[in-house]
Amino acid sequence: MPSSVITIDGPAASGKSTTAKAVAVRLGLAHLDSGSLYRCITLAALEQRSPIEGATLARLAEEKKIELHWTGEHYKPMLAGRDVSEEIRGAAVTRSVSDVAALPEVREWVNAAVRASAAQHPKGVVVDGRDIGTVVFPGAALKVFLVADSRERARRRVLQEGLATDEENLSRTSVELDSRDRADSSRIHSPLMPHPDAVQIDTTNLTFDEQVDRVVDLARESLQKKGS
């Protein structure tokens, strides 16, 4: 495990990735988005028309050399030597990724890849996902679990997609997010849940800067304690 690890877990659109990125910049660490590996494997499966089956997909991930490559500045999701940062955000990948993330062989493969990527960074990482504090880095200095009410998460996701925050977009997005959260929380393997030591932060009524400040303060405190 690298010297400094902060984990940020939580449901879809709770602000994990944007918060993790900003926190990493403030602390001089790197942001590592574990969900992007599940998305890379999903993209590979769709491109190859592969059956959604654990051992097959773990083998495909290996064959296609899926990785989060540390460029010296950030982690880049790579599939067969190609930067797939944009493609993995497409609607088809988003629709299928929860099914792929429910497979234990895929989870094992991703967990090993996350640990290997984190080890490439000289200082440390802020990793976001669903099971990072519970399974991947349970010994992390600070484990955060972000929550926000479903309506607010839908509003943020709609804005992020550049759409109007009208009733139709909000309801549709809210239904999509709820269905993904149900799938991620009810799966048998590593369901979405907070580690008992995680600090839970409800961001519904926080501004983005407030939520970043809160995590940075907690991280500084925890890293100091760990170093002393």
Nearer to ligand DC, 179 or 224 (CB): 179
Nearer to ligand DC, 29 or 110 (CB): 110
Query: In the bound complex, what is the minimum distance in angstroms from residue 227's beta carbon to ligand DC?
Result: 26
Which residues are near ligand DC by CB under 6 A?
A: 12, 34-35, 38-39, 97-98, 101, 129-132, 180, 184
Shortest Å distance, C-beta 103 to ligand DC? 10
- How far is the C-alpha of 160 from the C-alpha of 141, rounded, in Å? 30
Longest distance between any two alpha carbons in the chain, whole Å: 52
Residue whose C-beta lies closest to ligand DC: 129
Taking the least distance from each CB to ligand DC, the nearer of 116 and 217 is 116
Nearest to 219 by CA among 7, 1, 2: 7
Q: CA-CA distance, 47 to 2, in Å (whole number)?
A: 34
Give the C-alpha separation, 9 to 195, whole Å: 9
Compare residues 175 and 217 and give the one whose CB is closer to ligand DC: 175
| Nearest distance from C-beta of residue 101 to ligand DC, angstroms | 4
**CA–centroid distance for 74 within its chain:** 15
As measured in angstroms, the least distance from the Cβ of 89 to ligand DC is 8
Tokens at 56, concatenated: 């097959």
Q: How far is the CB of 132 from ligand DC (least distance, A)?
A: 6
Phi, then psi, of 214 in degrees rounded to 5: -65, -45
Instruction: Find the angle CA(157)-CA(158)-CA(162) to the nearest 5 degrees.
Output: 115
Among 210, 188, 192, residue whose Cα is nearest residue 201: 210
Of 194, 191, 190, which is closest to residue 8 (Cα–Cα)?
194
Copy the structure tokens of residue 166.
């009208």
The nearer residue to ligand DC, 39 or 195, going by C-beta atoms, is 39
CB of 64 to ligand DC, least distance (A): 18
Cβ closer to ligand DC: 163 or 225?
A: 163
With CA atoms as reference, report the closest residue to 215 among 9, 13, 1: 9
